[in-house]
Structure 1
């Protein structure tokens, strides 16, 4: 019994029902083996009946039909083509079926049937057919009765013998199914499994019920605040572990109740101290509330001052922006003036180049006029020589002398005109040189003015940078003033919130004082309720 008490409940159930399961498996194996034997016999019987016996029976019937057909064909007056065709068809089918018998256990008999059937067919083809064609039906009938009828009789006898052997084999296989040994074993094992399962279930349920009843009684006493109940442990199975856990639970619960009582008493004292502290918090909250009101008023005044500073900074920023715009406009005017001066300087340079080109052309004209003057002098000399030659010619050269005088007069006017042109060209060259020098001086002055205007633009850029820097500083001051205003407003708002929170703290502290007083009463009631427990002595055995 000690061995059983030390076993786990799961092991007890496993051992008890394991025997039942083993018997069930044994029964199942026997049943499966019997079923497999039955199936094997059934397959064999099916093979013998549906294959072997069916082929033997078909061959027997066809051999009989073959013998009947030849008897009918050899009867007087029946030698017709249809009767002959039917006979030959039966012979072919009989040969085919005899060849398909192929029964390994009756190989000698089936081979003999095939040989006799082939002998029957050969006798018909080699003896009967020639006699019929020769018009000797009675000789053919006599040959059949003497040679072929015994063969047909032997074929039928062999078929009958094989059929009887097959029926005998089938009967022997069926007799195997009639063996009741396996059935008796299955019945005996089933009865044993039922008895063993019933006994296992009875004793197991009885043991479980007894253990649960005992543990329920212990749990009932614990539920009635009796923590002094003894909890014995009789076994090492799950119920023994449960009893051990209940004993531990009882001890822990007893210790916890004792601890709760001690802690409750200490908590009551600490709550009284906390009540005094809450009263101090109430007094401090009143003082803080009055101080926060003063700070909030100062913050509101600071908000007003920083707002004025922000507005003044905004005005200064507006003036700085106007100065910036005016400076930008001046820079645009100076930049446009510089561009115009540079454009005019470029055009003056181009005009100077054109005047210089004109002076170059007048110089070329002077060269051409000199050439014309030289030609006129030469012409005048030639005209003078012509006049001299005409005078020498006398009356005959008078007309030529007149022409020579005209040519000389023309040459003289040409010389005078070229001198006037040369004087004018020289004057033009002098004027062009003076104009070129004047334009070069103007271009130099314009470049100087443009450089000064560029310096003015640089100065204006410097002024603009200073204005931008001042504007940036004013903007930063305004932003800082606005941020200061926002921060001061937040301080004022927060101080108002602190005032409200201080009031709330005051109210909550009053409520906390009332709550702590109620908690003291509740703890006193808790200690009184816990005093109802009968506590277990830790030094006791159980």
Structure 2
């Protein structure tokens, strides 16, 4: 599953990989923030709706209180407050309708509007009923005053009676009955106000003043009997009192019926108010349920997105770390093998990022070193063969020179036999000339081999310099990676600081910011893990620096050795040139010997001098042969040393 993704990432630069990783983390962080803002916005909208519902309930309570006040007092102020509360409720419902989109809540709001309309209609009915009740109340007060006026008239008549002994008792009884009548009228006046404040005003209004009116009528009848005993001639006041009391009873019945009608409308309004409160409570309950459901959904969404962000962040960090550390580890292993002299490793590099470029550079350096060390080894082998050949030629030359010296001594001691042995001397001279030619040829061949060795060693020095330049470039690339890692570390620290600030702000937000605080903590942990991965990469790059330094030191040592090899090879070339010159002298002397042999018979003394010269030349040749032998030994040691050094590299 990760194969195509790994191949795709391996071809991206480290900058793009890190940018993609941080972009993914920041995108998920932005998604979490958007989820949080959305959930917070939903919570705020729900709180606004609950506030509107609560305001509607408060208006309903105010409406009930003002309605009850208007029922009792029937004043314009309470009436205006009721109408204002109804208008406010209607306006509030119109404002609330666009805020709700749930079908259940919209139905409840429509029901509330219908109840408000019905309440307004019934309140109009209540106003009419209250107006009618007040009309009957005023009429009742007028009739009550008429009854009281007749009672006052009767009382005046009783007080104007002469104080006769037989009338005193009857008059006192009449006054008591008259006082009782007035008291019953006062009872009726007091009772007509009380039912409005009772728990069941309808039943109370139905019975208001009945007992007092019965008692008043009984007191009026007894008063008539008492006045008859006093033999009053003027009974108009008593008749007027009876008529006024009858009209007062009728007015009381009308008032009672009007008050009952008011209470019936009041009960209807109370029922409507209760229904409105129930609708408001149902709206509140439903909105709380919706709010709780939205909160649960938001929590689940935030938890899911946070878990996804954490998983993707960890996966991205793991993949990016693998994409960086794996090629770095392989490069470190390759550098360690090169530092140990193992150049046999060969691997195919398919990556096209900075790590792939680094691996390809290391691979090219390995191939160059392998080719260079192989060329040095081959040249060293050729040099060893040439040295062995040169040693053999030098030994042969030394033997020939020694033989020539002995023969020259024999010639010196046998000058008298020179003529007889001139042919043999000529033959020996020819052999010496051939040996000198061979020695000259071998010396030229040795000089050529040394020149080739010098060229190969100089090429080795050039390759070592190129390797040092490649390692320097590698060190520069490592430093670039280190600077990129510094940027990553800075971004991680800034992300950590931002997450900490977000957590502080979430803590200030209280309960509403708790979910955001959890997300901020997760982002902060992710930033810390990214910083830890960056520190691990820095440690790997430090190891790469150390390995590169070791390789550079080894290459510097190889360069010094190649320079020493060039110097020694040049010395060997100079020695071979001297050998060639000496061999050329030998060849010339041999020619002189041949000439002297031909002229030996004619000029013996000249031959003697030539023999002495030949002996001197032979001694020089022996000395040169000894020097050639020593140079061959040194050159062979140098070849062995080069072979040992090349052997340290496995190709």
Q: Same fold (TM over 0.5)?
A: no
What TM-score do the two structures reach when normalised by structure 2?
A: 0.33
- Point out which structure has higher relative CO (alpha carbons under 8 A, 6+ apart): 1
What TM-score do the two structures reach when normalised by structure 1?
A: 0.38
Instruction: Look at both structures and tell me which one has the larger radius of gyration over its CA atoms.
Output: 1
